[in-house]
């Protein structure tokens, strides 16, 4: 099954608010579609205690490209494994724009995640300037190719891909279903060319960028959109659950 909905809490949360949110998700169950939440590092233990045994998986929003060593402030994939993570988001546009994650470092992080059997959620997407300059496909191809060139077809094939146009993240501006579908189809085409038709057919490609209960069903109705990476709306239990339900139907 290709469907998946993942919440990206970003730097939001607190013990009490998290307990209420995670409790509501747990109570609602899986809603017929695999789902997960990627929480800030300090709350991984809380996510593990409250979600273990439920239909909802959890993960981190980043990881170090290094396995161990003198890297103050970094968190390794093995540490994420200690907290039962299934996923690690890699290459989110906020990490790329604000924290120096180059294509090469993102590719190294994908390798670091795979080395400890975490599934990377590899984010790709263009800025508004890039879209208006007509280079959306070239940008997305470059971001994917960095992973392919470092880790080969196996690395790319092991990722969930999240297409997140930067201009749609947290802005309330969603790509139209047709705009998103066009890029998703392009990504699936690149996967077919580099990794083979089977991999392309089974890879989960999520859309992210101001997904809300109101627009989720139409986006997820597109042939190559397999679910969503959800920022703001994942902080409200009812909204996140409605989006998961939209992916299931
Ligand atoms: C995100 O942070 O990955 C995201 C898609 O955010 P939002 O849903 O708030 O646009």
pLDDT of res. 215? 96
Q: How far is the CA of 53 from the centre of ligand 1 (A)?
A: 27
Q: At what angle do helices 213-220 and 237-248 cross, to 10 degrees?
A: 20
Same domain, 27 and 86: no
Q: Identify whether 92 is a catalytic site residue.
A: yes
Same domain, 141 and 216: yes
Residue 210 alpha carbon, nearest atom of ligand 1? 10
Which residues in 71-208 belong to E strands, given as ranges? 87-90, 119-124, 160-163, 205-208
Cβ-Cβ contacts under 8 Å for 177 (sequence gap 6 or more): 218, 219, 221, 222, 225
Interval 50-65 mean pLDDT: 97
**Entry pTM:** 0.97
Q: Which residues line ligand 1 (CB under 6 A)?
A: 8, 10, 164, 169-170, 208-211, 229-233
Query: pLDDT per residue over 67-121, tens digit each?
Result: 999 999 999 999 999 999 999 999 999 999 999 999 999 999 999 999 999 999 9
Residue linked to tokens 């397999």: 226
Whole-number average pLDDT of the chain? 96
Q: How far is the CA of 208 from the centre of ligand 1 (A)?
A: 6
Q: Please give the Cα distance from 104 to 146 (Å, whole number).
A: 6
How many other C-beta atoms lie within 10 A of the C-beta of residue 129?
10
- Please report whether residue 243 resides in a domain: no
Same domain, 53 and 69: no
Query: pLDDT per residue over 204-248, tens digit each?
Result: 999 999 999 999 999 999 999 999 999 999 999 999 999 999 999
Same domain, 156 and 83: yes
Q: Please give the Cα distance from 49 to 54 (Å, whole number).
A: 10
pLDDT at 123 over 70: yes
Residue 171 alpha carbon, nearest atom of ligand 1? 10
- Please report whether residue 188 resides in a domain: yes
Residue whose CA lies nearest to ligand 1 atom number 1: 231
| % the chain with pLDDT above 70 | 100
Same domain, 72 and 180: yes
pLDDT of res. 170? 82
Per the CB < 8 A criterion, the answer to whether 19 and 243 are in contact is no
Q: Please give the Cα distance from 139 to 162 (Å, whole number).
A: 14
Q: Which domain holds residue 26?
A: 1-59
Per the CB < 8 A criterion, the answer to whether 173 and 159 are in contact is no
């Amino acid at each position: 099954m290709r469907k998946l909905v993942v919440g990206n809490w970003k730097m939001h949360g607190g013990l009490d608010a998290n307990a209420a949110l995670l409790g509501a998700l747990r109570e609602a169950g899986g809603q017929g579609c695999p789902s997960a939440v990627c929480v800030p590092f300090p709350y991984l233990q809380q996510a593990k205690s409250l979600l273990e045994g439920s239909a909802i998986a959890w993960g981190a929003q980043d990881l170090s490209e290094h396995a161990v060593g003198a890297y103050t402030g970094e968190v390794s994939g093995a540490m994420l494994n200690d907290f039962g993570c299934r996923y690690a988001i890699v290459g989110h546009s906020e990490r790329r724009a604000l924290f120096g994650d180059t294509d090469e470092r993102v590719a190294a992080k994908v390798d670091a995640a795979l080395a400890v059997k975490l599934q990377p959620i590899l984010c790709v997407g263009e800025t508004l300037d890039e879209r208006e300059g007509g280079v959306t496909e070239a940008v997305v191809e470059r971001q994917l190719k960095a992973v392919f060139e470092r880790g080969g077809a196996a690395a790319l094939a092991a990722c969930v891909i999240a297409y997140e146009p930067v201009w749609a993240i947290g802005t309330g501006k969603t790509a139209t279903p047709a705009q998103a579908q066009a890029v998703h189809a392009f990504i699936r085409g690149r996967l077919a060319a580099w990794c083979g038709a089977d991999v392309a057919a089974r890879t989960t490609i999520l859309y992210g960028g101001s997904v809300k209960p109101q627009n989720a069903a139409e986006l997820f109705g597109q042939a190559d959109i397999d679910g969503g990476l959800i920022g703001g709306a994942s902080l409200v239990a009812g909204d996140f659950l409605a989006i998961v339900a939209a992916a299931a139907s």
